[in-house]
Amino acid sequence: MTTSAAAIRRRLRRPPPPWRFRLAGWYGRLVNAAIVGAIAWGVAVRGLQKTGQEGASEWTALCLSVVAAVVLLKGLLAFGPVFAGRDRLFWVLSSPVDRAALLAPRFAGLLGFGAAVGAVWPAAVLGVVGAPSPPGWAVFAGSAVAGVAVVAGAVVVQRSRVRVQGLLTGVAVVAVAASVLRPDEVTAVVWPAPVAVLLVVAVVAGAVVQRSGVRVRGLVAGLAVVAMAASVLRPGDVTVVVRSAAVAVLLVVAVVAGAVEQRSRVRVRGVLTGVAVVAVAASVLRPGDATASAVVWPAAAAVLLVVAAAASLRRLRRSDLTAGAALAAAVRVSVAWLDLGLLGALLAERRARLRGRVRSARLRGPRAVVLVWTDVLRARRAPGSVLVWAGLLPVPALVALGGEVEWVPAVHLVCAFAAADRLAAGLRTVCRLPAVRRALGVPDGVLRLAHLVVPGTAAVAWCLATVPFTPHVSWLNGAVSALGAVAVVYRVATRPPLDYGVAAIDFGVLGPVPLGLLVQLSRGPVLLYLLCVVQVLLG
């Protein structure tokens, strides 16, 4: 007997359980959230009391915000962001109920997650780089709305099936490079950025609407013409250009949303018309109105993207919903078992599938040279690791800019370890897979030393590149960071498999504590902590 749509709708509208049961289920989560929130609140209040440099801290915070938005968007796209496991997918695909109604709770949770991340981001970034003046409510509200817009935009991109990972990586690289500029260099170097943004928006708009069958070539071409015309204006005319560009971007977003939703048979003309009117009306606002610039523009874009994303839920296919289910399951299992090996293997498999194929070649020479060269090829096939290595270059200098000078050497060491660890995939593979070691027929010591060359070289090169321009970091600190990073990477990679049969001791607080498991997990982090203490003492 097939369940009717009315019965399923009544099941969805069933009264929730009593609040006592819900509170009992959420008790542990609320306690953990309260502890983390109290610690974060204290750190944020202390950080917001720091005074940053006029212009420099604001520009650095803007660049870091762009990087954070890109990282959030890439992470969401890796999971879907809307996904469904096998149990839930059966009901989503076979149920006579509207698919959007079944996916709406998860979509609402994603929007709440984006709003929460966006709301706390100003406190985090300004706590690092400092602020010339305490931020007002408009900054936090605008950041929360921007977080919602990023999540909704990820859902729209998921529905349109446009691959934007390369574009997002390029934006992150540009933002990281721009963060090291001085405020007086911003006008000369970053002035072409609005032009590039307009051109990128035109290209993305054309790619998105290509699948919907709506012809907007004239609008996209007009946007490109506006971008070219803006490139010949003087930097002093930035106010007029930015206001006009913002209006044009909102209008293009409205057209793109309408094109994407045309096939979903949802009438959003009234909403799109209203947003267009808001965009035109907002163009006449005063440039110095901080509330308008921090809240109005993100809110208008967020409304458009949320409407488009909500209407896109019913058009998601099986391939869209199952793309991130395996990754979510791997994350859940890795966190539960305190072992990131499964997650790393799954990510490596996904990178290999995206690459498609490689050209095989016979390597000649001594065994050690061949092993080192294969590790170099492995790094070449994972450009994301190299980008992370480069993205960590300005981090210690940014911490010094925020005024935390006593922690700069320790941050330098942690960043050096993170940069080297991203390029130590080969070392982890040969250390954790005995079958690979037996198949190669090389002594274990030679294998480990050969695969330690790439991360060791990466750590030394990273330290040589960062010590000259990082304040409060001497060459002695740089040497400790390079050697310490290599040592910690080796300790973490050569850690034996976890033994979950260790004893757990109950101290009367938070349940039994598996001390043996904590000792196993401390192999590497304890050494990193001790080296950080040494760095602080040397600094």
Q: What is the largest CA-CA distance in the chain?
A: 76
| Average confidence (pLDDT) over 176-181 | 73
The answer for residues whose C-beta is within 8 angstroms of residue 74's C-beta and 6 or more apart is 165, 168, 169
Report residue 153 as tokens: 């935009």
pLDDT of residue 189: 47
3-state secondary structure 424-451: CHHHHHHHHCHHHHHHHCCCHHHHHHHH
Q: Count Cα neighbours of 371 within 13 Å in the Cβ-side half-sphere.
A: 23
Report residue 69 as tokens: 């938005």
pLDDT of residue 484: 93
pLDDT of residue 346: 82
Q: Please, which pLDDT band fits residue 488 given cuts at 50, 70 and 90?
A: very high
Q: Which H or E element spans position 505? A: strand 505-506
Whole-number Å distance between alpha carbons of 278 and 303 = 11
pLDDT of residue 185: 53
Q: Please, which pLDDT band fits residue 457 given cuts at 50, 70 and 90?
A: very high
Q: How many residues does the chain have?
A: 539
pLDDT of residue 211: 52
Of 390, 335, 23, 322, nearest to 180 by C-alpha is: 390
Contact 396, 415 (CB under 8 A): yes
Amino acid residing at 23: L
pLDDT of residue 487: 94
3-state secondary structure 40-77: HHHHHHHHHCCCCCCCHHHHHHHHHHHHHHHHHHHHHH
Which of 240-249, 331-340, 379-388 is predicted least confidently? 240-249
pLDDT of residue 417: 94
pLDDT of residue 235: 47
Whole-number Å distance between alpha carbons of 303 and 148 = 9
Whole-number Å distance between alpha carbons of 298 and 82 = 22
Q: Quick one: what percent of the chain has pLDDT higher than 90?
A: 11
Q: Is the model's pLDDT at 280 over the cut of 60?
A: no
E strands along 330-451, which residues? none
Q: How many CB atoms lie within 10 A of CB 535?
A: 23
256: Cα separation from own chain's centroid: 24
pLDDT of residue 530: 92
Of 135, 138, 139, 118, nearest to 52 by C-alpha is: 135
Q: Is the model's pLDDT at 168 over the cut of 70?
A: yes
Q: How many CB atoms lie within 10 A of CB 42?
A: 10
Of 348, 405, 399, nearest to 378 by C-alpha is: 348
Q: Vertex 416, ends 410 and 398: CA angle to 5°?
A: 60
- Which tops the pLDDT comparison, 284 or 131? 131
Given phi > 0 = left and psi -120 to 50 = alpha, else beta, which region is 434?
Answer: alpha
pLDDT of residue 238: 45
Whole-number Å distance between alpha carbons of 53 and 156 = 38
- Which tops the pLDDT comparison, 442 or 228? 442
pLDDT of residue 234: 47
Between the CA of residue 494 and those of 145, 242, 261, 425, 431, what are the distances in Å?
A: 44, 53, 52, 12, 6
| Average confidence (pLDDT) over 140-155 | 88
Q: Please, which pLDDT band fits residue 287 given cuts at 50, 70 and 90?
A: very low
Amino acid residing at 176: V
Q: How many CB atoms lie within 10 A of CB 30?
A: 12
pLDDT of residue 190: 47
Contact 304, 250 (CB under 8 A): yes
- Which tops the pLDDT comparison, 149 or 358? 149
Whole-number Å distance between alpha carbons of 25 and 7 = 27
Q: Vertex 119, ends 118 and 125: CA angle to 5°?
A: 75
DSSP string over 229-294: HHTTS-GGGHHHHHHHHHHHHHHHHHHHHHHHTTTTT---HHHHHHHHHHHHHHTTS-TT-HHIII
Q: Which H or E element spans position 512? A: strand 512-513
Q: Count Cα neighbours of 118 within 13 Å in the Cβ-side half-sphere.
A: 30
Q: Is the model's pLDDT at 444 over the cut of 80?
A: yes
Q: Please, which pLDDT band fits residue 315 given cuts at 50, 70 and 90?
A: confident
Whole-number Å distance between alpha carbons of 77 and 112 = 17
pLDDT of residue 259: 53
Whole-number Å distance between alpha carbons of 368 and 154 = 45
Report residue 121 as tokens: 């981001």
Which of 42-46, 247-251, 301-305, 390-394 is predicted least confidently? 247-251
Place of tokens 């209203």: 274
Q: Is 24 helix (H, G, I), strand (E, B) or coil?
A: helix
Q: Please, which pLDDT band fits residue 298 given cuts at 50, 70 and 90?
A: confident
Q: Please, which pLDDT band fits residue 227 given cuts at 50, 70 and 90?
A: low
The answer for residues whose C-beta is within 8 angstroms of residue 36's C-beta and 6 or more apart is none
What is the average pLDDT value for the chain, to the nearest integer?
76
Report residue 170 as tokens: 């390029």
